[in-house]
Amino acid sequence: SQTIHQWPATLVQPVGSPLSLECTVEGTSNPNLYWYRQAAGRGLQLLFYSVGIGQISSEVPQNLSASRPQDRQFILSSKKLLLSDSGFYLCAWDTGTANTGELFFGEGSRLTVL
């Protein structure tokens, strides 16, 4: 069966420090991968999605970047965090070119920037 792992679950970082959140999917090949952010009391904001290795689409210009070094690995990064980067980050995947629109989510990473 397919599983998705996302880590770390909780992170407290000072302003100006770097960030790396990792997500891996097991049990499937060629998935589409997504990073969403959920600010307090707000809905989900799509940050990045990827349809293949090295292929990243950015939905919102900002302080963050994403990379997909392997088929089932998706990394969210920042060189210098801002206070406004605080939030709940969710990684998700779907079945790629044969997808139906259904997403499968990780458990999320809570980032607090102080």
What residues make contact with another protein under the rule CB under 8 A?
6, 32, 36, 42-44, 46, 49, 51, 88, 90, 92, 94, 96-97, 99-108, 110
Q: H-helix or E-strand containing 35?
A: strand 32-38
Contact of 28 with 95, CB cutoff 8 Å: yes
* Nearest CA-CA partner of 78 in 52, 48, 103: 48
Closest CB 4 distance from another protein, rounded Å:
8
Closest CB 7 distance from another protein, rounded Å:
13
Determine the residue type at 33. Answer: L
For another protein, the closer of residues 19 and 91 by Cβ is 91
For another protein, the closer of residues 85 and 94 by Cβ is 94
For another protein, the closer of residues 13 and 105 by Cβ is 105
- CA 64 and chain centroid, separation: 10
